Structure 1
Amino acid sequence: MSISGKVDPVVRSVAATDIAEALVEGLRDFQALPIYGLVFGALYAAGGITIVLCLTAFGMVYLAYPLAAGFALIGPFVAIGLYEVSRRRERGEAVSFGAIWSAVRSRNEIGWMAFVTLFVFVIWMYQVRLLIALLLGLHASFSSFQEFMTLVLTTNEGLTFLIIGNAVGAVLSVILFSLTVVSFPLLLDREVDFVTAMVTSVRAVVTSPLPMIGWAAVIVMLLIVSALPYFLGLIVTLPVLGHATWHLYRRLVEPLPA
């Protein structure tokens, strides 16, 4: 039972073929209604560009790499509008930006999940800054991203920073992925509390660990690669992954009885 007293969602196991099929269906949703995907993708990319410009203005351009890696963490939150597009298309309902906004705004528990997502992203960025202070110098500063990468790749301290930072980032990514891969679509689909949604999401990952780890790896790699050319690749990558996540959710969680 969930903390609200309702029956917990039933989780099903999935295979690698389900991941592939979800990706195909996600691409179809994007092709059918591209304007919504392009808008949400552009907003995501614009957010990344804005943050990088701010880092550059404050002389912290060396944080661009960890930002690009950590930016993938908030993807599930940004893609929530895309889940609603797929949900409405699946049901044959009219799709509009107003309808999407109304649906998202009506789910109060989504706000708590957004807080969890942003909290982990903040932790990611703070641990990067802490590692820089501990391993590269308390008052470390770099005039360019190239100077930062040269230090990271050519010194023992830099390589230690790279190894530990990526390891911590991987752990945070797995944790947040496990908490959100099902929770955001579930909160849109039915009335459950955010704790139940997170528990269901973790159960889905535990039930099908290898396929879900593979899905996480696909998401992270595509988002990072898409972020490299000034985040512009995210304009297409985010919507496809967002729609695909909805279809994967449909395979992972049994629908409510009619």
Structure 2
Amino acid sequence: MAQTIGNPLSWGARAVQKAGHEVGEAVNAMRGGRTRPRVQRITAADLRAALRDGADDFKAMRSDVITLVVVYPAIGALLAILAFSADVVHLVFPLAAGFVLLGPLAGIGLYEMSRRREADEPVGISSIFAALRPGVIGPVAGLGIVLVAIFIAWLLVAQTIYVWTLGPAGPMGLGEFYRAVIGTSEGWTMIVAGLGFGFLFAAAVLALFIVSFPMMIDRQVSVAVALATSLEVTRKNTGAVALWGVIVAALMVAGSIPFLIGLVVVLPILGHASWHLYRRAVVHVEDTER
């Protein structure tokens, strides 16, 4: 039967009602899912298995991550513009390091692809966008805001360290900045302080987000439950989580040489591996009752 628009007033009322229903579902998703899952013990063997499964996912769905070839050159171009056109040479390294902090958020599409492959569901480029389906997009956005706030806080701390060590009117050119950093005690103080605070931020992100984003892609859970579960995974598996952080950092450094090209392979593998690590570290009660 052909559909007609009908009376404008009734059509508008239905549209408003539908919009309100969708907003209500999003709010309920943000609030709901408070049941805490069970956290498992994980070992170095689980980390190796997660990486192996992540590499297997990458090989099976390689054509789906080709878009990363476009994303990362764009990031490099942005960093170059910030460095040479905005007189913020001193923030290039904090921005590059901060990009690692945003990794859990950037991997959302990869978690969904691994989830679909595990469930024998169709996988394609559209899977990246399917991750943000109704009931999931709200909580993921809330968790993303928390992560972006940490990223901004890191940049503010980096700027404060720079002003504290080299002063507000520090060197503007790349060569002058390099000489001031390497050739002065203030520059070395900036390096040490930056590495120290950078480690603290990286540890906080690892503890808060090691399983939180994959968990939200898998289940409708609240931001509070996702963060609490990640913290519990970290508390219960401190050594394994620390080792995972070292592995991620080492692979990111290796993938960044030269010119971030290796990240086209490293990041997808890490994203898929993060999903498999989540599946090993977290067990949901409803799954055990089936």
TM-score interval w.r.t. the shorter chain?
A: over 0.9
Shift in CA distance, 181/172, structure 1 to aligned 2, threshold 3 Å: same
**How far apart in 2 are the matches of 1:209 and 1:44?**
32
1:34 aligns with 2:62: yes
* Farther off after superposition, 88-97 or 3-12: 3-12
Letter in 2 for 1:142: M
Taking only the aligned residue pairs, the percentage that are identical comes to 33
Q: CA deviation at 1:3?
A: 6.7
Q: CA deviation at 1:41?
A: 6.0
1:169 aligns with 2:201: no
**How far apart in 2 are the matches of 1:65 and 1:147?**
16
Contact 2:34 2:222 in 1 (8 A): no
Q: Which residue of 2 aligns with 1:75?
A: 103
Contact 1:25 1:244 in 2 (8 A): yes
Q: Which residue of 2 aligns with 1:16?
A: 44
Shift in CA distance, 227/73, structure 1 to aligned 2, threshold 3 Å: same
1:192 aligns with 2:192: no
Contact 2:40 2:233 in 1 (8 A): yes
**How far apart in 2 are the matches of 1:165 and 1:173?**
12
How many aligned residue pairs are there?
256
- 1:198-249 Cα offsets, whole Å, 9 max, x none, are 0100110111101111101111232234235332221111000000000000
Q: Which residue of 2 aligns with 1:208?
A: 237
Q: Which residue of 1 aligns with 2:91?
A: 63
Contact 2:171 2:180 in 1 (8 A): no
Structure with more relative contact order (C-alpha pairs < 8 Å, separation 6 or more): 1
1:25 aligns with 2:53: yes
**How far apart in 2 are the matches of 1:100 and 1:161?**
39
TM-score, normalised with respect to structure 1: 0.92
Q: Which residue of 1 aligns with 2:148?
A: 118
Q: Which residue of 1 aligns with 2:258?
A: 229
Q: CA deviation at 1:43?
A: 1.9
Give matches, 1:127-166, under 5 Å: 127-144=157-174, 146-166=175-195
Contact 1:3 1:196 in 2 (8 A): no
SS in 2 for 1:104: coil
Shift in CA distance, 3/99, structure 1 to aligned 2, threshold 3 Å: closer
**How far apart in 2 are the matches of 1:143 and 1:5?**
52
Q: CA deviation at 1:182?
A: 0.4
**How far apart in 2 are the matches of 1:220 and 1:199?**
24
**How far apart in 1 are the matches of 2:111 and 2:104?**
10
Which runs of 5 or more structure 1 residues have no equivalent in the other structure? Answer: none
Runs of 4+ in 1 over 4 A off after TM superposition: none
Shift in CA distance, 109/135, structure 1 to aligned 2, threshold 3 Å: same
Contact 1:41 1:234 in 2 (8 A): no
* Farther off after superposition, 153-162 or 216-225: 216-225
* Farther off after superposition, 29-38 or 85-94: 29-38
Contact 2:90 2:162 in 1 (8 A): no
Q: CA deviation at 1:66?
A: 2.1
Shift in CA distance, 129/5, structure 1 to aligned 2, threshold 3 Å: closer
**How far apart in 1 are the matches of 2:98 and 2:229?**
24
* Farther off after superposition, 57-66 or 38-47: 38-47
* Farther off after superposition, 245-254 or 104-113: 104-113
RMSD: 1.9
Contact 1:45 1:235 in 2 (8 A): no
Q: CA deviation at 1:149?
A: 3.0
Contact 1:40 1:81 in 2 (8 A): no
Contact 2:98 2:154 in 1 (8 A): yes
Which runs of 5 or more structure 2 residues have no equivalent in the other structure? Answer: 1-29
TM-score, normalised with respect to structure 2: 0.83
